[in-house]
Structure 1
């Protein structure tokens, strides 16, 4: 529902119907729309976090995993899984200042990991900003790179990580 209609389409009665549960059952787990959006954000963050290496990994491993978890090797059709993740995250962020602040704290922790990844910190930061810009361009259809250019941009980011070691 988040993918197809955004956060505005999320109504607890509609979510309950889609999930084939009672509204009371849904309210037992999520007391409000904000709590539901927080739950979506938490789930997406946990999935993303699972793709990242633990602290103490080889230099550059976290930055490389950040790239790998976000930008596929080849261009994928719009609305593919990576786009659905971006839509879900952005929709969850519309849950209000509390939800946004929780996401900011996660992002700060990830940025700290990138800065301490054994690379030149400016290289790690540039890779993160490029990755963030990539999925935003895909999400909003802001002239994202396609086909060969997609592969070239991704390869350039990967080489920046290697050069930064």
Structure 2
């Protein structure tokens, strides 16, 4: 199996372990078992648990960027549209909470995205409010903290997209 596919399979397995058993259950042995590879095979791709979690974070950030690009050519509107949890983020969030030093890459990427929000040809306050509200909606849905559903959710997203509309 090519290296990239094996690495993806290992990252999938790590996410599955965290989603099913919690962040505390994320061990190299558990991931190797889930991925049906030897621990040595896992260590070939990820030298440590931290390396594995960093791989999860890098993949999540790249997937989010790709989804933003696919949702809308306009950056801020794409950000708002892509901010619905995909299901695997809870494990990533738990891993970040378990080791706050892992937030460095996430903070850097969000800083880049915020800079872009501020210079995309719209009111920077409205665009920032839309970004922060989309982040809040994502977190509410991810953690099940009273997120809006149905028609109300659609209306909230439409309002955020209105805020994200470029200036004429």
After TM superposition, the score normalised by the length of structure 1 is: 0.82
Bigger helix share: 2
The list of structure 1 runs, each at least 4 consecutive aligned residues, that deviate by more than 3 angstroms after superposition, is none
1:156 aligns with one of 156, 159, 165? 159
Tell me, what secondary structure is at the counterpart of 1:51?
helix
- Whether 1:3 and 2:19 are equivalent positions in the alignment is yes
Aligned equivalents of 2:105, 2:166: Cα separation in 1: 33
Map of 1:74 onto structure 2: none
Aligned equivalents of 1:157, 1:164: Cα separation in 2: 15
Q: Where do 1:19-30 residues align within 5 Å?
A: 19-30=35-46
Map of 1:67 onto structure 2: 80
Gaps of 5+ in 1: 72-81
- If asked which structure has higher relative contact order (CA below 8 Å, sep 6+), I would say 1
Aligned equivalents of 1:163, 1:42: Cα separation in 2: 29
Map of 1:45 onto structure 2: 61
Map of 1:118 onto structure 2: 121
RMSD of aligned residue pairs (Cα, Å): 2.0
After TM superposition, the score normalised by the length of structure 2 is: 0.80
